[in-house]
Copies of this chain bind each other. A is one copy, B any other.
Amino acid sequence: MAKSQPLFSLLLFIFISGTISQSIIQLSRDHDVYCNSWRFSVETNDVGYWDQVPSRCVSYVQDYMTGDGYRSDSEVAASYALGFAKTVEIAGDGKDAWVFDVDETLLSNLPYYAVHGFGYNLLPNSFSDSTREEVVIMISFRTIAELTDRIDCSAPFKLSESFDELSFDEWVDLAEAPAIKASLNLYKELKQLGFTVFMLTGRSEHQRNATAKNLQLEGYSDWERLILRESSDQGKPATLYKSQRRLELVNEGYRIHGNSGDQWSDLYGFAVSERSFKLPNPLYYIP
């Protein structure tokens, strides 16, 4: 009996370890199955208009955005965009064009949404308003995971219940939105290949300086035109506004080969590109 005890203990250990491992994996998978499906339905536009992440998926979205998932999805989408771009014959007349959206396409507002929105109620109540503002300013794309590790995620919290345009405009004016690395790399490759790049954003004309400054600080350069909403565009659905602007480019003789955007309203409508590339965004929906 004494001889067989270590073997028995080992077998018991392996058995229990296996059981625990299986249980944890199963728990983790069960938790994610529905939210994965919700995200599938968001990204395929099956959901249509939505204004709030389902409460059971808030921590899932937080994990996705701050973990490997969002980074990997952005990289793979960019790789297919580049793969297509390399098949385009560049005529050399400067008319071979690529259109990029800005928010959640070239620049990430995750530092903003981590505090206002999915992160807001995660911050300890002891944080004063000025501290919250500092967090918005200091936080970088790379350190969100660190922030979320430091705060208590067990309390119930909510996400993006109402979009606060005023505070978002203040964030835009800071010009501190980090580049989405995969998009920055794609942008540089497209420039190398000889594409003429247009930026077509739902931001307003009065945000031109801050937007251009932010883009330049993050490494974007030599774009042909940064197109923003003029006063006559206010109130237009994004699909219409962006389609009209693309049509103007087509009428100027540009051949829009590719279009990268995180919203279907960046990609649908008329004067659409030869190929569209949907970037991930489970944070918000723009019709």
Contact = CB atoms under 8 A, between A and B. Distances in A.
A21 interface: yes
Interface string A5-28: 000000001001100110011001
A28 B276 CA distance: 31
| Assembly stoichiometry (copies) | 2
Given A16-B17, A72-B34, A43 B40 contact: yes
Contact of A77 (B33, B41, B275, B278): B41
A34 B278 contact: no
A48 B275 contact: yes
Nearest to A16: B17
Contact of A278 (B13, B21, B45, B73): B45
The residue among A43, A46, A276 with the most chain B CB atoms within 10 A of its own CB is A46
17 contacts: A16-B17, A17-B20, A20-B21, A21-B24, A21-B25, A24-B24, A25-B25, A33-B72, A37-B69, A37-B77, A38-B76, A41-B73, A41-B80, A45-B276, A45-B278, A46-B77, A46-B276
